[in-house]
Chain A
Amino acid sequence: MAEYWYIAEGFEERIDGFRSKKSEAEVDLEFEIPEKDFNTAGKGSSELKNLLKRLGVNSEILRRIAVASYEAEINVAAHSKGGIMHSAVYDELIHIRFQDEGPGIEDIDQAMVPGYSTADDLVRELGFGAGLGLPNIKKNSDAMHIVSAKGNPTVLEFFIYFS
């Protein structure tokens, strides 16, 4: 399995600390993302945004969370056989994890290059597949982690701090 880690500058300690503590989330939210269902894809991130508004999350941070989760949700719908979006809210941050049912990313480093896309014709016809999904998620998150291999499920998770 190939692994990709990105941690924004200055967040190394906070992410390490968070990951070693393994504390329980205060609020969980789970959504199913069906394969190639672009009518419902985006619903999970939209519900999540509503929830975070209720918490009074700063609007700029809220936007970053909304964009990253939307891009990831669309990715799962467009490229995988469907999957699950799981959001966990902690006191200081949100951890969102996307797990799909394959077919996996062949070359993660290449997938991180803006403009690179493996989207099929159907996806492109619907206006997606510009190759900006993963770079956009990276740009908007404080840390991002991908585990995948060809023929295997992909797990993508990212972390965004509230302040």
Chain B
Amino acid sequence: MNKKGSKYFHAIQILEDNCTGCTACVRVCPTEAIRVRDRKAYIDPNRCVDCGNCVTACEFHAIIPSSDPLDITQKFKYNVAIISSSFFGQFTEDVSYSAAKLAVLRLGFDEVSEEAMVTDFMISIIREYIRKNRDKRPILSSNCPAVVRLIQVKYPSLLPNILHQEAPMSILTRYLREKISQEKNLTDEEIGIFLIVPCVAHVTAVHQPEGAYKHLQDGAFSTGMIYGKVREILKDIQNHPEEIDTYPHGLTWALSGVQAELVDTDDIRALSVNGIDNVMDILSRVEDHYLDQYDYIVLRSCTNGCVGGCLNVENPFVAMSRIKKMSKEGEDKPIHVEELEKLHSEGEFSVSPLSPRPIMELDKDIKKAIKKMKKINEFLTMLPGLNCSACGSPTCYALAEDIVLGKASLDDCVVLKRNCPADEDE
């Protein structure tokens, strides 16, 4: 899953044999991390934020999201699955919330838990955090791993504004580890905790958590990967239904907009943003202090929030409507808030200060950077300005930059080559 020689893990893999060099991925990457050279795509691991845009854009199955195989659960004595709320929006109307949850349990887990359980608790710790950190405005949500990485890469000055608390599924992981080790008398190594996730960013976050103080999850399974098996199991469950605890009210965590509405109160003004282009626009304005009127901004990389994740099977709008309907049906089973609050007061859910992954600077020395910029502009005037990406760089500007940084040459420009056939003879 990882590209050799980089310190960053990514849950995206390029299958060179399938890659035609079409550059569709190059054009949709928000951090300009992808280049096609010699007709094969390559992802710069320092720039990639695991948003999944390229996975969706690739028509040739050459960019493959990687998640863990189900059989890694065999390494553990007791296995727990924590389900992302978006999961429940992936089924047809006849599949009930409890049936879908039961089906995950029957995949071979000893226990199944879900993000929705801790939604209310999460809202309370977010509010507490905002009130304790009034000097930083606005606080930026941390639950979308692609957004956290985007800030590390492109907006490092905003790192102190990120909510430095674990996301719901990790809070649940810490809680379950404590609970299970006591109740079942098992060591930490004997308990396997896994996430059922809607996007590649979450797979990456499981394998390389940012700012985690303690051991969290042991693997991540993609919704898409387990979907077929879950459907098989569902047929059986629909004939023999069983009871299982559900938390319909908390399901809305998967939807963009709802978190902000829940956090918003008399003394806290919240804004909700989804879709990575909107997220970038908002972050740029936060940098300039144009959005200081907000105390909290919920940022999600995917359309409509986690229901838009690239590992899901259902359209994000349909999944959203389905979850909204489910969230109004039935009552939540009460949870042990005292135990969560105890862990919270002990600092179990804190996150260490996040560090930047700067990619923007052309050079550490500003004078040298200016010289490079000057050269880039010189090359830019020679290029056609079509931004066709046929060279394998996303724009003419990016190609000019690649040339100055020694990663490409003017010969890579297809348009220049066509217009100057004389060069071909050389």
Name A residues whose Cβ lies closer than 8 Å to a Cβ of B. 26-28, 46, 49, 51, 53-57, 59-60, 62-63, 66-67, 70, 89, 91, 162
Give the complex CA separation of A134 and B367 in angstroms: 30
Give the complex CA separation of A91 and B367 in angstroms: 6
Closest 6 A/B residue pairs (Cβ): A59-B157, A56-B361, A55-B369, A53-B360, A66-B288, A26-B370
Question: What chain A residues lie within 8 Å of B373 (beta carbons)?
Answer: 26-27, 51, 54-55, 89
Give the shortest distance, in Å, between B394 (CB) and chain A (any CB).
14
Q: What is the size, in residues, of chain B's interface with A at 8 Å between Cβ atoms?
A: 21
Is B366 a contact of A26 with CB atoms below 8 Å? Answer: no
Across chains A and B, the number of contacting residue pairs, with CB separation under 8 Å, is 58
**Interface SS majority for chain B:** helix
Q: Taking the complex as formed, is B377 at the interface, i.e. its CB lies under 8 A from any CB of chain A?
A: yes
Give the complex CA separation of A72 and B183 in angstroms: 65
What are 21 sample pairs from A and B whose C-beta atoms fall under 8 A apart? A26-B370, A26-B371, A28-B377, A49-B288, A53-B154, A53-B360, A54-B369, A55-B361, A55-B362, A55-B370, A56-B360, A56-B361, A57-B366, A59-B156, A62-B157, A62-B287, A63-B287, A63-B289, A67-B288, A67-B290, A162-B366
Least CB separation from B156: chain A residue: A59
Question: What chain B residues lie within 8 Å of A63 (beta carbons)?
Answer: 157, 287-289
Question: What chain A residues lie within 8 Å of B362 (beta carbons)?
Answer: 54-56
Q: Taking the complex as formed, is B363 at the interface, i.e. its CB lies under 8 A from any CB of chain A?
A: yes
Question: What chain A residues lie within 8 Å of B134 (beta carbons)?
Answer: none
Give the shortest distance, in Å, between B404 (CB) and chain A (any CB).
11
Of B156, B284, B369, the residue contacting A49 (CB under 8 A) is B284
Is A27 a contact of B374 with CB atoms below 8 Å? Answer: yes
Give the complex CA separation of A8 and B287 in angstroms: 24
Give residues 150-188 of B contacting A (CB, 8 Å): 154, 156-157
Q: Taking the complex as formed, is B364 at the interface, i.e. its CB lies under 8 A from any CB of chain A?
A: yes
Give the shortest distance, in Å, between A36 (CB) and chain B (any CB).
21
Question: What chain B residues lie within 8 Å of A49 (beta carbons)?
Answer: 284, 287-288
Is B366 a contact of A56 with CB atoms below 8 Å? Answer: yes
Is B370 a contact of A91 with CB atoms below 8 Å? Answer: yes
Least CB separation from A49: chain B residue: B284
Is B369 a contact of A56 with CB atoms below 8 Å? Answer: yes
Give the shortest distance, in Å, between A72 (CB) and chain B (any CB).
13
